[in-house]
Chain A
Amino acid sequence: MTSSSNSLELTLENRPFTAKWCPASSSCSNLLAIGHDTGITVYKATEFANGEPSMKDLVKLYTIHIGLPVLQLAFSANCICSENEKEEKPQQDIQMEGLLENNILDNYTLCFACACEDNTVRLIIARNDSIITQHVLGGKSGHHSFVNAIDIVDVYSADNKLAEQVIASVGDDNTLIIWRLTDNGPVLAGYSLSSPGISVEFHPVNPNHLLVGEKSGNVRVFDWTSPPNNTDESMGQDVSEQVSSITPWLYTLNVSQVVHSYRNAGLASTLANARWVGPDGTSILVVCKSGAWLRWDLFAKAGNGSYDMEEDVGYPQPRTLLPDHQGASLFPTFCGACPHPRYPDYFMTASSQRQGTLQLINVAEKGSSPNPVQLDGLIVGMDWHRNGNYVAVITDSSLYITKVMG
């Protein structure tokens, strides 16, 4: 591991595919999970006294062995950290051991949704490196081709108890699958798409709304809770049924308005990803593989970019579904956009042509930082820490924690 004042580089043992910071608050917020060749490895960044993570020491906690490459990963917010009474070690020993494994002071109960190489979607609840529960969605009921994106949301009941966990996944089989894990058993719903699904994300505030990005450039918002015509809930743990909903689709945003001079017409509107932007999800950011990006501020108030219904007269204003902002990054990208968690106007993107090049784009200025960040190796994934100062970037062999803002 090498570190400087603004970045830390760690050579990984296993080939990484995805990296996610834990979204939970408090003690789990500095956990970083990396999906790789054989499972998921969890790292922890040490903290300053004010709770800010320090990237000088990144401790490898443990590896959850699944036995398959984990290609996509989504952290559930339902993660718990509890103190481990048995394993107490002197502070100086901890500092000396550094990155050594089994340096665990606390017990972590983490919940992941992951997509594996065998096209299965799995819900894994692990306590440290042991898998407590693993639900596998696959076979005839699952995706028949590569799973490209996955997300998970926890749904709470009125008395603030966890009612169900909902996983959404999209794949090359042109299918969106919603997997609801309830106390009564799993319920599946599959929906057909017009082209392979590339990205999927639950709304940060209203988990009923799901943002689905398709490879053809269409981005759809979907209300998976709208009552289907012939829902059939299965009682068994392993039984799952596919049902069709009547009109779950709310609206479609089309990236075909991107006027491109890009020579490769097919790449121009091929989607890289689509993300909700802002802590309240007031905007939608879409990035194409050509580097072109568009943003719709559907629920943003004019001016400060955030909508507060209570402050306003009461209702959203009529508007068209044309993008409010659009531009182009310096280079094509396959990773898509990684929106800043606190500043909605900023997002990060990685080049697919110039290996290791990161670019921070300011939507309001329709341009990018003049000096892209340069790392070593082909970037395969990245994720902002929730404080918005650091971004975890994985290449085909290394992990970088880089300070980009702040």
Chain B
Amino acid sequence: MDELKQAIVPTYIQSLGLEGSLELWVPAHEDDSIIEVEAEEQNFDCESILKSELIAFDSGIFTRKTNLFPRCVHWNVFKNQTLVLTEVSLKNDSSCIPSFNIRIHFPSQILKNCVTFGFDDEKNELSLFVITSTRVLYSIKVKPEWFLSSNPTVDEGWCTCFRPPSFLTKTPSYSTAVNRFSLFVTFNSGGLLKLNTSFNSDEIQEEHYHDSRYMTSIRHYLTLQAFKDDYRPPNSIVSMTYNHRYHYLLTMSLDHKLKIWNALNGVLLETISFEPTSMQNSNALSYLSIDSCTQSYVSIYHPNETRGYFSLYRFELDPDDGSFVKLSPVTTKIAPPHLPDDEFLPWTLLKTNLVCLDTRDLHFSLSLAWKSNLHAVIQCAYVVPNVDNTARVSWKSTKKNGFIGFDKFSFDIPTSMSFGDVSEIWVNNLLNKKHISPESLQLALLCSQKVNPYTSKSKMESLRSTSLNELMKEITKMIIGSVPVQPEFGSSSFDYSAYRQTLYNEWERFAKLTLYLDSFGDEILNIEIDSNSKDTYVCYASKIGVLRQPVYIEYLDGNLISNMLQLPEMKAPALVSGYQLLDLGCSLVSCLPSATLMEIRFSLQELTKNPASYSVFDTLWIFFDKYIYPNVNPDHLKSLAESFASRDNPVGDIKFLLDYIRDFPENSVQFSSTPFFSLALSNTLIEVLEKLQTSLEALIFLLSIACSQQDVQLEQKVVGSDGIFLELLGKWKVVSFFITTFNLPLEQVDIDSSKVGDNTLQSNLGTISHLNTPFEVLTTLFCRENALSNQFSSIQTSIKSFTSRLLEDSSSNQMVSEAFEKLLLLKQYNVCSALLSWLGFDSICQYFKAITHLGSKEIQKSIYHFKHANLNFEKVDLSERPLLKAYLDTAKGYSLDSHLSSYYLHVSKLLSTEGAYVDALEFSLMADAVKGEDENLVSDIRIQMFLTSCASSKFDTAYSTLL
């Protein structure tokens, strides 16, 4: 498939799993007051707040190859003169879990393209260079603990400011760091400068890099064009990149000359002229990209009338002394494919990134970020050069409008309360869309409240620390408070029907406003490839994306069949037929009203809960008769049935399709992830699971139609439908279970990590403490990476392994109870209480239900389930159950014939811990009634009986116990 997808995470503190921010103010430079800064009109209306506070105008990712912390730093620049740094590694190599981001406030505006990082891996030191509009250079020593601690040490000399002499007359346009102390700076009016700072000193040295003689420069200025305000000399540098490995600086100037400099001595090594061309519609910074992995290759972009083309070069070095020889072409004329609507939309190439995937067989990945107004497209090329400087190139790209459209929000006003009323469904819809920035919601709330412009800024700041759930409560309160219920004409009652419609409309308005405000955050600003993990980050104005390949179940958008048939593996007829059946089923799903779909889901859940009392074919017929037949056009039903009947073995095709979608990666292991990874994974996995749920429903509907037609031809084709239906229902159950956990809130509970008893949970407790929903927790605990040596952890592998596990034949109940157990170990009793109906009826599930009720203080219900659980470790394998570890360890100490008694004793102790002494006494009496000859057990039971009878004031029983 040629489509790319993204995992999106808003750059909001809680969306990133952070606890808060470290606020730093850089010292003002002594000359700051001299420079007249244009006083900007202080507008505090919502739009100005949005543009200055919430939407970044410059962004990027700094990554380094080592496993030191911080390894991937995302930086955002805002118009309110703030630079925000956030650690966004996907893999937890250093055992450091970032809890804070850093907000650095500057006294003047930060210049675009003038933020750069210098590092020293040997000493694990990181510096940040920032140039502001008052032409002051700030050098900031970034410490790892700033990301980790709420009260870190900030040394006095953490920030040094400089005013290089050259900055007095020229405005910097671009900077790139060499190391912690040096950086290169170019100027709008031409010139290249290397600035060298020193440790613990305010001194700065300048080294000017010249490529031409003095008179040549003068001649440039003595032309008519030089009198224009926007004049730039032809040798002005428009693109610059630094090779950290060989210490070369590559620059591209306005006259399309590529120059290679030795950064150690300033010597110009080579100049290569390329054919001149117009460059107005491209961001020149995108022209050069050095391979971030090996630093041995460079890609050069050549714009032309269409989309331009790329060429790859290699740094050829002298084998004896390692000195630069020349740039050798590897491949030329890599032309990007068409962009969406490029006849009408002017696309600008924003950034390119090159990475060498394999040095032996020489494969490259070239990523391009195209931008048109608020649209963005990322294209990725997989390049395999040939000997003759050509290359085999395959392209993939994201869709133009990758974010949610408003049409996905609308729904019918519900007639049953199985999924809630108007406000509840809207809240779920808005919460479900995790890539909507919470700041957009906050701002929409302020706009809707018509907050006084002078107070909106401070209100915005107070909202910043609000959790998403609290924010939704505020929004719900505001909307409900703005919609009055009117009395019904001629009646003493209210017109509730009109009220619900008005309420729906108000929510719709709010949602549209939120989406509108959020769309400003869709502007793409940068892309960067992590040289370690090869993941591609996409920086948007208020979000971060991570590119990924789609999984099979996502190939339902767009031109399904033609896309399917392009794949080599799709030549299998059964698979093609399976996908075609899936497509038919999805067309049926899209016909059904949303209210009916909700009722169907409720009904399907009922089917999974209760043992079947009808035959499967009768169940399918009832299903068809109740939900499908009344809501679908008979002609459509007929055509679906005929399509089903036209296949040779439709049931077999569906099975083949499920096996194909399952596609389990064989070598996968669990790993310790970062909160950012967990959040990115969960935000994208929910979309995958919803598609999977829809697909399973589509197949179920199709089966119900096929099994309900009185057609001799169809009757032969539906043989085996009962088995496939039960299989689909089981898979639907586990998928829906996980989807249900998405909007439930996590409780703040103190967990004693030494008593957790689950290795996976223990190793991820640091990450889990930063997560907000059970879904994020469970996906973290279940995610796995490909264990092959050259395959690093990726969101895609985790998605595939997770969805594959969901679809495994026998794992549906197993996975649900395993997930449930993990939530119980985390003491999330309210969450478990909401998920009880998904558990099965075996003894372990009964035990889990009992523990849930006990944790929720519903003692009688817990007793009911404890009695039905009746755990017998001889008959049921409890060894893989961390929650039962304590019971198992104790029970195995008693004799084998007294398992029931030991179980009752265990329950009695559990009830005692919750203060239910009367019931605890009852269980201890039950234990006493069935105890064997084990003296230890007898003694323990007697002790428990005495304690519980005293606690429940049954002193006569206590006395009897003593006797």
Instruction: Say if the beta carbon of B747 comes within 8 Å of chain A.
Output: yes
Quote the shortest CB–CB distance from B628 to chain A (angstroms): 16
- A250 surroundings in chain B (CB, below 8 A): 496
Within 8 A of A (CB), among B598-639: 599, 602, 609-610, 613
Are B421 and A252 closer than 8 Å at their CB atoms?
A: yes
Are A257 and B424 closer than 8 Å at their CB atoms?
A: no
Quote the shortest CB–CB distance from A225 to chain B (angstroms): 13
CA distance A258 to B485 in the complex (A): 21
Question: Would you give 29 A-B contacts (Cβ < 8 Å), ordered by A?
Answer: A15-B918, A140-B613, A145-B837, A172-B837, A174-B418, A174-B837, A191-B416, A192-B418, A215-B833, A218-B424, A250-B496, A251-B494, A252-B421, A252-B422, A252-B424, A256-B472, A257-B480, A259-B473, A265-B745, A265-B747, A266-B831, A267-B747, A315-B492, A316-B494, A318-B485, A320-B480, A320-B484, A355-B915, A397-B952
- A71 surroundings in chain B (CB, below 8 A): 860
- A315 surroundings in chain B (CB, below 8 A): 487, 491-492
Quote the shortest CB–CB distance from A21 to chain B (angstroms): 22
Are A266 and B830 closer than 8 Å at their CB atoms?
A: yes
Instruction: Say if the beta carbon of A334 comes within 8 Å of chain B.
Output: yes
Chain B, residues 469-487, CB within 8 Å of chain A (1/0): the string is 1101100110011111111
Could you say which of A91-99, A241-249, A384-392 contacts chain B?
A241-249
- B476 surroundings in chain A (CB, below 8 A): 254, 256-257
Are A247 and B497 closer than 8 Å at their CB atoms?
A: yes
Quote the shortest CB–CB distance from A325 to chain B (angstroms): 15
Q: In the complex, which of the residues A193, A309, A320 contacts B417, with contact meaning CB atoms closer than 8 Å? A: A193
Are A266 and B481 closer than 8 Å at their CB atoms?
A: no
- B477 surroundings in chain A (CB, below 8 A): 256-257, 322
CA distance A145 to B846 in the complex (A): 13
Quote the shortest CB–CB distance from A306 to chain B (angstroms): 14
Quote the shortest CB–CB distance from B949 to chain A (angstroms): 12
Chain B, residues 930-954, CB within 8 Å of chain A (1/0): the string is 0000000000000000000000110
Having A172-B861, A192-B602, A322-B480, one finds 18 other A-B pairs with CB under 8 Å, namely A146-B861, A172-B836, A172-B837, A174-B837, A191-B417, A194-B418, A220-B417, A247-B497, A251-B496, A254-B423, A256-B476, A265-B748, A267-B830, A314-B492, A315-B492, A318-B485, A319-B484, A320-B484
- B613 surroundings in chain A (CB, below 8 A): 140
Quote the shortest CB–CB distance from A251 to chain B (angstroms): 5
Give the A-binding residues of B (Cβ under 8 A). Answer: 415-424, 427, 469-470, 472-473, 476-477, 480-487, 491-494, 496-497, 499-500, 599, 602, 609-610, 613, 745-748, 828-831, 833-834, 836-837, 857, 860-861, 864, 915-916, 918, 952-953
Are B421 and A220 closer than 8 Å at their CB atoms?
A: yes
Quote the shortest CB–CB distance from B478 to chain A (angstroms): 10
Which residue of chain B is the closest to A173 with respect to CB atoms? B837
9 pairs of A and B residues whose beta carbons are closest in the complex: A266-B830, A192-B418, A252-B421, A318-B484, A194-B420, A257-B477, A315-B487, A250-B496, A396-B918
- B916 surroundings in chain A (CB, below 8 A): 378, 396
Quote the shortest CB–CB distance from B74 to chain A (angstroms): 29
Instruction: Say if the beta carbon of A26 comes within 8 Å of chain B.
Output: no
Say whether chain A's binding surface is mostly helix, strand, loop, or mixed. loop
Quote the shortest CB–CB distance from A80 to chain B (angstroms): 32
Quote the shortest CB–CB distance from B636 to chain A (angstroms): 23
Instruction: Say if the beta carbon of A103 comes within 8 Å of chain B.
Output: no
Quote the shortest CB–CB distance from B829 to chain A (angstroms): 8
Instruction: Say if the beta carbon of A263 comes within 8 Å of chain B.
Output: yes
CA distance A192 to B421 in the complex (A): 12
Q: In the complex, which of the residues B417, B609, B830 contacts A192, with contact meaning CB atoms closer than 8 Å? A: B417
Instruction: Say if the beta carbon of A78 comes within 8 Å of chain B.
Output: no
- A378 surroundings in chain B (CB, below 8 A): 915-916
- B415 surroundings in chain A (CB, below 8 A): 246-247, 249
Are A265 and B416 closer than 8 Å at their CB atoms?
A: no
Which residue of chain A is the closest to B922 with respect to CB atoms? A15
CA distance A402 to B190 in the complex (A): 91
- B918 surroundings in chain A (CB, below 8 A): 15, 396-397
Q: Please, how many residues of chain A have a CB less than 8 angstroms from a CB on the other chain?
A: 56
Interface centre among A17, A252, A309 (most CB of B within 10 A): A252
- B746 surroundings in chain A (CB, below 8 A): 265
Instruction: Say if the beta carbon of A352 comes within 8 Å of chain B.
Output: yes
Instruction: Say if the beta carbon of A317 comes within 8 Å of chain B.
Output: yes
- A218 surroundings in chain B (CB, below 8 A): 420-421, 424
Chain A, residues 173-215, CB within 8 Å of chain B (1/0): the string is 1100000000000000001111100000000000000000001
- A317 surroundings in chain B (CB, below 8 A): 487
Quote the shortest CB–CB distance from A73 to chain B (angstroms): 14
Within 8 A of B (CB), among A219-250: 220, 244, 246-247, 249-250
- B419 surroundings in chain A (CB, below 8 A): 194
Are B610 and A194 closer than 8 Å at their CB atoms?
A: no
Which residue of chain A is the closest to B477 with respect to CB atoms? A257
Are B481 and A322 closer than 8 Å at their CB atoms?
A: yes
Interface centre among A172, A352, A376 (most CB of B within 10 A): A172
Quote the shortest CB–CB distance from A304 to chain B (angstroms): 18
Q: In the complex, which of the residues B424, B500, B857 contacts A194, with contact meaning CB atoms closer than 8 Å? A: B424
Are A321 and B864 closer than 8 Å at their CB atoms?
A: no
Instruction: Say if the beta carbon of A270 comes within 8 Å of chain B.
Output: yes
- A263 surroundings in chain B (CB, below 8 A): 747-748
Quote the shortest CB–CB distance from B595 to chain A (angstroms): 11
Are A321 and B485 closer than 8 Å at their CB atoms?
A: yes
Instruction: Say if the beta carbon of A56 comes within 8 Å of chain B.
Output: no
Known: A71-B860, A144-B610. A316 touches B493 (CB 8 A): yes
CA distance A215 to B833 in the complex (A): 10
Interface centre among A117, A220, A247, A321 (most CB of B within 10 A): A321
Instruction: Say if the beta carbon of A2 comes within 8 Å of chain B.
Output: no
Chain A, residues 363-393, CB within 8 Å of chain B (1/0): the string is 0000000000000111000000000000000
CA distance A314 to B493 in the complex (A): 10
Known: A15-B918, A246-B415, A270-B830. A252 touches B492 (CB 8 A): no
CA distance A352 to B915 in the complex (A): 11
CA distance A96 to B599 in the complex (A): 62
Are B953 and A193 closer than 8 Å at their CB atoms?
A: no
Which residue of chain B is the closest to A334 with respect to CB atoms? B857
Which residue of chain A is the closest to B602 with respect to CB atoms? A192
Within 8 A of B (CB), among A285-316: 309, 314-316
- A319 surroundings in chain B (CB, below 8 A): 484-485
Quote the shortest CB–CB distance from A215 to chain B (angstroms): 7
CA distance A218 to B423 in the complex (A): 10
CA distance A378 to B483 in the complex (A): 42
Quote the shortest CB–CB distance from A157 to chain B (angstroms): 22
CA distance A220 to B602 in the complex (A): 19
Quote the shortest CB–CB distance from A282 to chain B (angstroms): 12
- A247 surroundings in chain B (CB, below 8 A): 415, 497
- A334 surroundings in chain B (CB, below 8 A): 857
CA distance A146 to B859 in the complex (A): 12
- A50 surroundings in chain B (CB, below 8 A): none
CA distance A382 to B828 in the complex (A): 29
Q: In the complex, which of the residues A140, A144, A322 contacts B609, with contact meaning CB atoms closer than 8 Å? A: A144
CA distance A270 to B745 in the complex (A): 12
- A316 surroundings in chain B (CB, below 8 A): 487, 492-494
Instruction: Say if the beta carbon of A264 comes within 8 Å of chain B.
Output: yes
Which residue of chain B is the closest to A257 with respect to CB atoms? B477
- B499 surroundings in chain A (CB, below 8 A): 251, 321
Are A266 and B493 closer than 8 Å at their CB atoms?
A: no
Are B747 and A266 closer than 8 Å at their CB atoms?
A: yes
